[in-house]
Amino acid sequence: MAKADFYELLGVSKTADEKELKSAFRKMAMKYHPDKNPDDKEAEKKFKEINEAYETLKDPQKRAAYDRFGHAAFEQGGMGGGSPFGGGGQGFAGGGFSDIFEDIFGEMMGGGRGRRPSGGRERGADLRYNMEISLEEAYAGKTAQIRVPTTISCDVCNGSGAKPGTKPTTCPTCQGAGRVRAAQGFFSIERTCPTCQGRGQTITDPCTKCHGHGRIQEERSLSVNIPAGIEDGTRIRLTGEGEAGLRGGPAGDLYIFMSVKPHQFFQREGADLYCSVPVSMTTAALGGKFDVTTLDGTKSRVTIPEGTQTGKQFRLKGKGMPIMRSNQTGDLYIQIMIETPQKLTKRQRELLQEFDQISSKENNPESSGFFAKMKEFFE
């Protein structure tokens, strides 16, 4: 069945403007709306067709394609409902065209990313800034002042690139459209204008400060808030702090890549910290106390009981790293590493030898039977 003409469906002429289209669509949509016509299949079908017609004609690019090729312009993809009243169905934007169509008309339909015929507006580039901080700074958080080389919109010409008092002139090649049309076999293809790069305007009297670029290089000073507990590898995004856009386009973003320097005493695992503490053999055997300075600058006392073995962990609750966006903190684990005495004097050696002679299996339960147990296991 032949499809009804979109203009006829809406009851408007082929020269109808945006306003006429909209009001015609409203009227027709009200008339055939399913809520007003319960269980009326004809009305429902008509309602969908009206939607489809309006979706096409309200978009200047789709309308141009429809005017030139009729329904054939959209046939291959299967369009779906695309009702402005919600509900399912994919509209045009969801990829209604076949790949071939996308190739040929991609640019014309505005499918070409970036360079839309919008006066050559371009989003500024994103910037990356690498920042290295200490674990103490990551613990406390800080406000850092950074200097970022970037481009900003020229203040003399307000980004237009034209000398103040003069105006950019309409591009003679494309007459301001930003695009030029070239016939290529059966198709007529539109391309970005080579003279003005899509701007639609050329500058005859360039601004002396920015030489017509509309942007100037500058080093900017920014203050960056680094939250307490930030982790190595975190990216902080400062929206709109990247390079200025071109000709009124939006600015890019600035990404701060954080790295946290390794600490001499503390190893970090998520919110927890680990600290390896060497303890003399005698302290480990007899028990003792020592103080650990934590990242908040205070001292915490650790008491180790008699007979503490190497590798034993003691937890200092809440002495780890703050957890971002919460008021919680991780823990600090003290790992005991027993140091064997070296460079013994004659007297020390005698005492240790005497100690060894009077040692029993109960003093060293792990080592005394170990080799016997191993031998047994492998035989």
Name the residues that contact Zn ion, by CB under 5 A. Answer: 154, 156-157, 171, 173-174, 193, 195-196, 207, 209-210
CB of 254 to Zn ion, least distance (A): 23
Q: Which is nearer to Zn ion, 198 or 320 (CB)?
A: 198
| CA 178 – CA 198 distance, rounded (Å) | 4
Q: Which is nearer to Zn ion, 53 or 174 (CB)?
A: 174
CB of 175 to Zn ion, least distance (A): 8
Q: Which is nearer to Zn ion, 166 or 368 (CB)?
A: 166
CB of 108 to Zn ion, least distance (A): 16
Q: Which is nearer to Zn ion, 89 or 110 (CB)?
A: 110
Q: Residue 333 is encoded by which pair of tokens? A: 């684990």
* Residue type present at position 21: L
Q: Residue 313 is encoded by which pair of tokens? A: 């962990």
CB of 68 to Zn ion, least distance (A): 22
CB of 182 to Zn ion, least distance (A): 14
Q: Which is nearer to Zn ion, 178 or 229 (CB)?
A: 178
User: Which DSSP string do the residues of 168-202 spell out, in sequence order?
Assistant: PEEPTTTTTSSEEEEEETTEEEEEE-TTTTT-SEE
CB of 316 to Zn ion, least distance (A): 59
Q: Which is nearer to Zn ion, 58 or 116 (CB)?
A: 116
| CA 112 – CA 98 distance, rounded (Å) | 15
User: Which DSSP string do the residues of 267-298 spell out, in sequence order?
Assistant: EEETTEEEEEEEEEHHHHHH-EEEEEE-TTS-
Burial string for 230-257 (b: 16+ CB within 10 Å, else e) reads beeebebebeebbbbbbbbbebbbbbbe
The DSSP bridge partners found for residue 293 are 299
In sequence order, which ranges of the chain are alpha helices (DSSP H)? 6-10, 18-32, 41-57, 60-69, 99-105, 135-140, 281-286, 346-357, 365-378
Q: Which is nearer to Zn ion, 114 or 365 (CB)?
A: 114
Nearest CA among 123, 119, 124 for reference residue 199: 119
CB of 119 to Zn ion, least distance (A): 11
| CA 89 – CA 96 distance, rounded (Å) | 11
